[in-house]
Structure 1
């Protein structure tokens, strides 16, 4: 496969990848991302060198190979596993071409006068120093020939001083995050600790990471991504789009795969790594999931769920018990979608039980520290907003400010804050916005509906007035009652979270994790500052 060549030479797909109805479902076995071995290991640390490069990837049995960007040339990227408090050092190496194979909108911040292909890696959900966080302006090109204004080091340090959890790493380059993640730059990062290992949860081959993305293909099997808005913008082409919804479901790099299981319990770490699309997931036979964790790690105790929402960048840790099913039974992981995307993947009960299933669903998982609203030093009020940019395009923002505006969210080190985030955007597309804070894990307090017609954004931000609530606060969903780093901010509601800003000071960001929104311009700096005397 040549650099930026879209498909294999002389290969003709056996189906039309651009028409989902022609693609057979459940004919490819689910691949499990390989765990990466460190290049060097020492006392309480591991060192990795990870190369970003072009690769040919087989999305489906009947497709030709498709060009992707991959960490170590693999999509999804290899899984990094570590123990709590064992440091990981990672040198991320950009060996990508100089020209992107997806449409770059050069009118966006970061893309206007910078090289077309840039990368910077964000370990999503990690508590790390700002130099290792993957700040959008810390990008670099091949051989570090060009670097962004915030670039400071080639080797990132992840101390992993947080509880066992499922994180993920992905690209975060200013103005092209949506393209780089869609092209394949995403992978799992799993932290274990001794409490988790002592619980008797399903482990090893029964502990399965699932990265879900939606993608659309051209007829030759290459990745399709829209090059312009609908209707087209006459001033900018290619132009960023407001949303991207793919036509097929891809799990661990395969279109509608199947997974053979034994009649026993399995643990699934599910990540929504889609650009825009949120899902409500359930099982076709109506059986329950047993949730044991959220973005930030284990819950205090398991939660039994019939279904659950999962917005972009959210993770959920669940156990599915197949022991009551018969040999030959199948179960489909579904979404509340229409047409061909109602199916995500299939489980086939085909494998014999290797040995008695001694794994358990514990009644207690770990002590759950609760942040009480009385602990908060400050209540910070924020809004989702929209405007028109210089080219007449709808632009979504936070507090009516762009990413390039000076930081206004500057919590003090070791302080606890409540953030009240109002979403008055109820006109089409009338969607929830998954808001992600870097550095911290937080807890969701509640959501409260308000009258968007009488809402006064300025008064709300400055004084907490100018808002007419139309109902009482509602507790978070059962699936959200743990540590989170992404919160679903629903239209017509104020969403309240509480966070403890600790361990580091410096420059971070908070943003919508719909990647099209993040790139244009729903992202703001977040600066944790030194604590001053009262």
Structure 2
């Protein structure tokens, strides 16, 4: 496998598997070499989904963390007439903010660690690490930038494009965010938030109103999230605790934009609609070198596929986090809804495999009650999400979006199968082209 390879994934898009950017569909320059699942060179993005903020990034197997860190990431916006009619801030008053964190060498080139600090002698060099957090916050490619804003409302489409770092964002002026959208587009109603926590790969669509802010005031967008989230080191208030600055200038003309009380209709799934419930465990172990390795359902990426949803079926996935970190779990192809988070007895689960709940289900936060493709799975909780697997059949992946976790080895394949297929119960079935696809029940 060549060291330099790439494949594009349009994150959050509903696309056929050949256009999804499967990790093994990689290619090299001029397609000199291609991965085992390489299909073709033309990807089709139909955009037949709700208006929303998508983003595209590299998804090559084993080196996603390196390629995204190097800059292979960008944003992609879908619009429609219904959203345009809401009279939200638009034009130069609608601004994308792609937030990442980086470290740099003295010559200004990017620095990415070759291995963990003080590695034991058995570690390979270079070696993957459990996570990488940079020393500088970068927004739209600039370190700690400022933006001149008029005394009026602005719409910001914010993306966390970092490898590992979460951001708990506040405005030091004390003014709130008005969140109007999440990963899958507009919420049903605006939600006023004093602070917003955004995980890697999540998007938030917010309105910030600078109308009452004094001229020449300087407002800082701050970050208080620990890394690893939320038990590691707090950010330095002089560096990684700062994201960007807004500088207030006079308004050029009247502000006729609005924040409607109602934004969009979101039809909620009912639990009784679910055809199946699956358990997805978040597991931490060590590889043969003693390095931390993260897995899903105690399986590695290359292990046999165990999730075969049927086209059109609704499923509930119970994401069980018995560890100590928050993991942002992303599922390709579909948008889902968060049902709740239920606390459970971690010790009983780890010792005996007993899933014993210790409290009532906690509903999603108001700003999580729209369509999502990434969910924050909290430690000590079972996070339940519900989704319909459509509109395409084929092979996709789900994974943790901490990119170092994804690369080693917290990513699994799933295959959406036609209704005539059912999961094979016989690994040696001669009627199947794949051991997990069978009509011979």
Q: Provide the C-alpha distance between the structure 2 equivalents of 1:173 and 1:219, rounded to a whole number of angstroms.
A: 29
Note the alpha carbon deviations across 1:334-391, whole angstroms, 9 max, x for none: 11133321110000002x3222100000011111111111111111111001222121
Aligned residue pairs: how many? 410
Q: Is 1:167 aligned to residue 54 of structure 2?
A: yes
| Distance in 2 (alpha carbons) for counterparts of 1:431 and 1:184 | 26
Q: CA 1:231/1:451 → structure 2, altered by over 3 Å: closer, same or farther? A: farther
Q: Is the 8 A contact 1:383 1:457 kept in 2?
A: no
Instruction: Tell me the SS of whatever aligns to 2:347.
Output: coil
Deviation at 1:480, TM superposition (A): 1.0
1:85-139 Cα shifts (integer Å, max 9, x gaps): xxxxxxxxxxxxxxxxxxxxxxxxxxxxx11100000000000000000000000
Counterpart of 2:132 in 1: which secondary structure? coil
CA shift, 1:234, in A, is 2.6
The corresponding residue for 2:96 is 209
Q: In the alignment, which residue of structure 2 is the partner of 1:327?
A: 215
Aligned equivalent of 1:264: 152
Report SS of the residue matched to 1:158. coil
SS at match of 1:327: coil
Distance in structure 2 (CA, Å) of the matches to 1:153 and 1:457: 47
- Output the CA distance in 1 between the equivalents of 2:90 and 2:204: 16
Match of 1:76 in 2: none
Q: TM-score, normalised by structure 2?
A: 0.91
Which residue of structure 1 aligns with residue 40 of structure 2? 153
CA distance in 2, matches of 1:498, 1:443: 5
After superposition, the C-alpha distances for 1:288-336 in whole angstroms (9 at most, x for unaligned) are 1111100000011111111111000000000000011121111111111
Are residues 190 and 323 of structure 1, via their aligned partners in 2, closer, same or farther at CA, if it must alter by over 3 Å? Answer: same
CA distance in 2: counterparts of 1:456 and 1:243, whole angstroms: 24
Q: Does 1:482 align with 2:370?
A: yes
| Residue in 2 that maps onto 1:454 | 348
Structure 2: gaps (5+ residues): 225-234, 423-441
Tell me which moved more, 224-233 or 403-412.
224-233
Is 1:249 the counterpart of 2:137? The answer is: yes
**2:195: which partner in 1?**
307
8 Å contact from structure 1 (residues 210, 269) kept in 2 = yes
SS at match of 1:200: coil
* Aligned counterparts of 2:90 and 2:16: Cα–Cα separation in 1: 31
**Is 1:344 matched up with 2:243?**
yes
| Alpha-carbon distance in 2 for matches of 1:230, 1:435 | 27
Give the structure 2 partner of residue 493 of structure 1.
381
Secondary structure in 2 matching 1:154: coil
User: CA contact under 8 A between 2:330 and 2:375: conserved in structure 1?
Assistant: yes
Aligned partner (choices 184, 190, 194) of residue 71 of structure 2: 184
CA distance in 2, matches of 1:150, 1:233: 36
- SS of 2:409's partner is coil
Q: Which of the residues 360, 364, 375 maps onto 1:472?
A: 360
1:457–1:514 Cα change, 3 Å: farther
Unaligned runs of 5+ in 1: 1-113, 460-465
Per the TM alignment, residue 457 of structure 1 is displaced from its structure 2 partner at its CA by 8.8
* 1:391 maps to 2:289: yes
What does residue 509 of structure 1 align with?
397
Please state if 1:289 is matched with 2:177: yes
- Map of 1:221 onto structure 2: 108
> Helix, strand or coil: the match of 2:43?
strand
CA contact (8 A) 2:6 2:26 kept: yes
Deviation beyond 3 Å, 4+ runs, structure 1: 456-459
Q: Which residue of 1 aligns with 2:307?
A: 409
SS at match of 2:258: coil
DSSP-derived class of the 2:346 partner: coil
Distance in 2, matches of 1:342 and 1:284, equals: 11
Q: Secondary structure at the match of 1:526?
A: strand
Equivalent position of 2:430 in the other structure: none
| Partner secondary structure for residue 454 of structure 1 | helix
* TM-score, structure 1 normalization: 0.75
CA contact (8 A) 2:322 2:350 kept: no
Taking the aligned partners of 1:192 and 1:381, their CA distance within structure 2 comes to: 35
2:187–2:367: 8 Å Cα contact kept in structure 1?
no
Pair 151,458 (structure 1): closer, same or farther in 2 beyond 3 Å = farther
Contact 2:322/2:380 (8 A) holds in 1 = yes
Distance in 2 separating the partners of 1:117 and 1:423: 33
CA RMSD of aligned residues (A): 1.3
The aligned counterpart of 2:316 is 418
Distance 2:24 2:96 in 1: 30
The alignment partner of 1:435 has SS state of strand
